């Protein structure tokens, strides 16, 4: 079986919405609107693609980055929980959120910290082991790649 892609590209399926940029600086940015991806639709498409690769009788997780997510993470988590009810073969979703580490000086970027969170599917055929759940939920585990 051929491996499904681990990346999805923007603009290929109309997964974009247009956002305007407002600043108090005249003439900047030169183009005052741009497109960003609709994260939710990406997730739905990603799940459909990855379903083909999941094995029956195994604990299957799907990891998504959430760099493009804009909105309330708590309500998004609830939406994911509801979505997972329809997919008993998926034991859970690993949501990886990247956060830039700033030093306090807005122009100093000290690298990235990642928050990793498991959204478990309690209706799954095979549920996530309790000890892994304990490590990754309900608190988000934050991991810094640079000190």
Partner 1 sequence: MSIDYPQAILEMCGISQLELEERIDLLETHFGKRFIDSLFSRYGGLDVSLINQICERSILAESLSTISGFNTIHKKIINPSNHRSSLDEPHGEWFQLTVGYLLKSVNEEPIFEQNIGGKPKDILIRKGEIHIECKSFRGSVASNKVLNELIQFGKNFKC
Between the two ends of the chain, the Cα-to-Cα distance in Å is: 41
Residue that is written with structure tokens 């109309």 in the block? 14
Query: CB of residue 138 vs partner 1: minimum separation in angstroms?
Result: 15
Is 140 an interacting residue with respect to partner 1 (CB under 8 A)? no
String marking each residue 7-36 x if it binds partner 1 according to CB under 8 A: xxxxx----x----x---x--xxxx--xxx
**DSSP structural state of residue 94:** E
Query: CB of residue 82 vs partner 1: minimum separation in angstroms?
Result: 19
* Whole-angstrom distance, CA of residue 50 vs CA of residue 87: 12
Length, in residues, of the chain: 147
Binding partner 1 (rule: CB under 8 A), the pick from 22, 74, 106, 130 is 106
Is 61 an interacting residue with respect to partner 1 (CB under 8 A)? yes
Q: Is 143 left (phi over 0), alpha (psi -120 to 50) or beta?
A: beta
CB neighbours of 145 closer than 8 A, spacing ≥ 6? Answer: 111, 112, 113, 114
Binding partner 1 (rule: CB under 8 A), the pick from 13, 14, 44, 53 is 53
Q: Which residues bind partner 1 (CB under 8 A)?
A: 1-11, 16, 21, 25, 28-31, 34-37, 39, 42, 46, 49-50, 53-55, 58-65, 67-68, 91, 94, 96, 103, 106-112, 114, 116, 128-129, 132, 135-136, 141, 143, 145-146
């Amino acid at each position: 079986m051929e491996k499904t892609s681990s990346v999805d590209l923007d603009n290929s399926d109309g997964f974009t919405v247009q956002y305007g940029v407002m600043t108090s600086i005249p003439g900047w940015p030169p183009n005052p609107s741009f497109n960003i991806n609709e994260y939710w639709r990406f997730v739905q498409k990603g799940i459909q693609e990855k379903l083909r690769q999941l094995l029956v009788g195994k604990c299957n997780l799907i990891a998504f980055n959430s760099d493009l997510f804009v909105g309330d993470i708590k309500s998004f988590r609830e939406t994911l929980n509801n979505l997972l009810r329809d997919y008993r073969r998926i034991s859970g979703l690993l949501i990886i959120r990247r956060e830039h580490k700033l030093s306090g000086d807005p122009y100093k970027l000290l690298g990235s910290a990642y928050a990793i969170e498991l959204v478990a599917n309690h209706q799954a055929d095979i549920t996530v082991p309790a000890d892994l759940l304990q490590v990754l939920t309900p608190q988000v585990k934050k991991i810094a790649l640079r000190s």
